Structure 1
Amino acid sequence: MVSQSVLYVAVPISVVVAISLVRKWRSRNWAKCASNTCLRGKTFLITGASSGIGMETAKALVYRKARVILACRDMDKAKEIVADIRKKQPRGGELIPIHLDLSSLDSIEKFVEVIKAGFNKIDVLINNAGVYAPLKQDLKTKDGFEIHFGVNYLGHFHLTNLLLDHLRRATPSRIVIVSSTLHEKGQINFDDLNLKAEIEEAKRGKSSRHNPGYCNSKLMNYYHMKALTERLGGSGIDVNACCPGFCNTGLFRNTIRWYHYILMAPVCLLYMRSAKQGSETVVYCASDYRIEGVTGRFYRDCSEYDSSHTIDKDVEKKLWEVSEELVKARKPIPIV
């Protein structure tokens, strides 16, 4: 008869081994960017490149000899990342950290002035940076917009528009918008883009399974991709969006508590990708030669993904117009 002490050891080990095998089996379905084409002479601009998926994307592109502009809010961290990448890849492409705070429209404009002064063209713009924060914190950008709307969507909207001439000079060029399949859970309410109603509910202790601020901003990213595709048709600038998957990055640092690590451990072990695994689809959209000339698509696991969200052309047009008005006015839509 097996002793209890042996069971106490054998059962946990068996569980760990089983979970590891299941994770390994699942990870086989997580695609990798197969293209290793040399990118020497091409300039890539990545927002939020000092950590997570943006950092891993930068590493992959530098390995392929690209010049990479790391657009980051935390310059000290960005310089540390540059030093670390250069130490591991001394013969890779060039790394250039430049300050960019997507929560400030003024910072975006100053950043673009630096780009215009130092670079003649941008081959690929990767709109990667993003925030995820509890709605009850009621965080705002420096211009007064709800944080998810202002950073994840509106900041990138303004940045992209300001860099279009640089992208045109590099044609064939690309814009890659990092969205999420959570865009399918989003809604766009033009009467409350700053989510006053949802924030008040969150402050009263009511919350939904999915953060509406984050989901809505990712839906706006999806609409942004579609709108750019139409407006840039025939220009030589390809525009695509992608979902990196559920990844182990610092995105959820403002929402995770110590007990979440215990409760979510099985789910994370089975479903959560590393930042490097998450970056594969971003790198694919940004560099794979096989999709040159392909535009207006959504990708996941390095292949096309059919979104369940049906694009409403009226919403697409209105979102663009409202976004332009907000950038010009420098103030959030009044709440009624």
Structure 2
Amino acid sequence: MRLQASSISLQASQMGRREVVSTAAAATLASILTVPNLADAEIPGIAGQSPKTILITGASSGIGFDAVSRFVSLGHTVHVPCRNLEKSNSIKDRLFSMSELPGTCVTGVCDLSDLNSIQQYANSLKSSNVKLDAVCLNAGLAPGISNKIARRTKQGFEETVGVNHFGHFKLMGLLKQESLLTQNSRVTITASGVHDPDSPGGQQGSKATLGDLSGLESQGRDCEMIDGGAYDPDKAYKDSKLCNVFFARELQKRNPNLMVNSFTPGLIVSTGLFRDQNPLFTKVFDVLATNVFKVGESVTWGGGALAYIALSDDIKTFGGYYGSKPGSSKFGDSAYGSAFSVDAVSKEVTEGEKKQQRLWELSEKLIQIS
């Protein structure tokens, strides 16, 4: 049985958040044009597995909640840490108030904007003798594009990169350090197509690039942007997704026993990622992307993509990046492995192995994991 996510906001992955079509006539087409509604098939390769223990961040809404509902429906034990216990408990309450499910949901507190909270959460997992078969680093945030001043995490990182990259880097480092993974654990990192300036989304607005890492190199946690530039909220989000792709590839390189893959869920105009955006922008973008231009994806598509990479026996790739053409959710779950498959990363990633390694080294130093 699949449960549907109940909260809606905005997530932009394949397309940029600035891409708003100016013609008023386009909005009137929304009532005429519809995305084909094909019956979903089972996600390939995830049924009939023995019970697994899974950790997923960003599980309180959007694709994270949808993925958790799938995991629990299949009988797995899912750890759902959130920035406060109320938020984590709400996931469990929503799941089990809807139906009796064979799996288990384990709540916890892990604020990705606070390295101390991440440490405390890892300590709690260790004291419970947890062994994780799969880790899904899915949480993320994006600042409002009108923000002029960078917000900061508890330890002083620019908040977007601080949560989306450094928080997950710290968490993953502790899971390895405390031996909380099984021998062949799988790690799935939610990235985005906007990490690539040549992609449809990456071309809009500011372009992602970490440059020569001069911001991190010279200012450490105090830098506003990794490349040393002035704060740009649009670029900060795209840069954080570029960090996600670099992180996934270097994590795989350093841990060949793990299966590490990243992916873009596509443009999903119904998740909590862009909660800081202008509400009117969100509503207009929802109509245009999903109903008019048919480049948007559904929450269930994104949640299925996450579940597919995290669990499917059909996944054989180590260190891959998965994606699909815009509008692929119309094909349903049967498209995982066909329409949704290994995709190209940006030129900066393919040509940036030394940068990838240096980003890891600087991240390790700044979050103080040996």
Give me the TM-score of the superposition, normalised by structure 2: 0.75
Percent identical among aligned pairs is: 28
Matched, 1:312 2:352: yes
Q: Please, which moves more after superposition, 129-138 or 186-195?
A: 186-195
Say which of 100, 112, 115 aligns to 1:105. Answer: 115
Matched, 1:271 2:306: no
Gaps of 5+ in 2: 1-24, 198-207, 217-222, 325-339
Residues 130/191 of structure 1: CA separation in 2 closer, same or farther (3 Å cut): same
Matched, 1:176 2:214: no
Matched, 1:220 2:260: no
The residue aligned with 2:175 is: 163
Q: Deviations over 1:289-325 (max 9, x none)?
A: 1115x21100124311122332412101110111111
Which residue identity is paired with 2:32?
Answer: A
Structure 2 CA distance for aligned equivalents of residues 303 and 111 of structure 1 = 33
Structure 2 CA distance for aligned equivalents of residues 166 and 322 of structure 1 = 21
Residues 274/326 of structure 1: CA separation in 2 closer, same or farther (3 Å cut): same
Residues 79/131 of structure 1: CA separation in 2 closer, same or farther (3 Å cut): same
Residues 227/277 of structure 1: CA separation in 2 closer, same or farther (3 Å cut): same
The residue aligned with 2:304 is: 280
The residue aligned with 1:244 is: 265
Q: Deviations over 1:84-131 (max 9, x none)?
A: 211334132110011000001111100000011113311001000001
Structure 2 CA distance for aligned equivalents of residues 262 and 290 of structure 1 = 38
Structure 2 CA distance for aligned equivalents of residues 76 and 199 of structure 1 = 36
Bigger CA radius of gyration? 1
Residues 320/36 of structure 1: CA separation in 2 closer, same or farther (3 Å cut): closer
Which residue identity is paired with 2:254?
Answer: R
- 8 A contact 1:177–1:225 mirrored in 2: yes
- 8 A contact 1:103–1:141 mirrored in 2: yes
Residues 120/16 of structure 1: CA separation in 2 closer, same or farther (3 Å cut): closer
Say which of 45, 56, 73 aligns to 2:66. Answer: 56
Structure 2 CA distance for aligned equivalents of residues 253 and 169 of structure 1 = 32
SS across alignment from 2:183: coil
Structure 1 CA distance for aligned equivalents of residues 138 and 289 of structure 2 = 25
- 8 A contact 1:223–1:311 mirrored in 2: no
The residue aligned with 1:18 is: 32
Structure 2 CA distance for aligned equivalents of residues 244 and 144 of structure 1 = 29
Structure 2 CA distance for aligned equivalents of residues 114 and 191 of structure 1 = 36
Which protein is richer in helix relative to its size?
Answer: 1
- 8 A contact 2:85–2:108 mirrored in 1: yes
Matched, 1:261 2:283: yes
Structure 1 CA distance for aligned equivalents of residues 113 and 288 of structure 2 = 35
Structure-to-structure mapping, 1:1-150, within 5 angstroms: 15-16=29-30, 18-20=32-34, 23-24=35-36, 33-134=43-144, 135-150=147-162
Gaps of 5+ in 1: 1-10, 330-336
Residues 125/118 of structure 1: CA separation in 2 closer, same or farther (3 Å cut): same
Which residue identity is paired with 1:258?
Answer: L
Structure 2 CA distance for aligned equivalents of residues 16 and 326 of structure 1 = 48
Q: Which runs of 4+ in 1 moved over 4 A?
A: 165-169, 196-200
Residues 103/281 of structure 1: CA separation in 2 closer, same or farther (3 Å cut): same
Which residue identity is paired with 2:345?
Answer: S
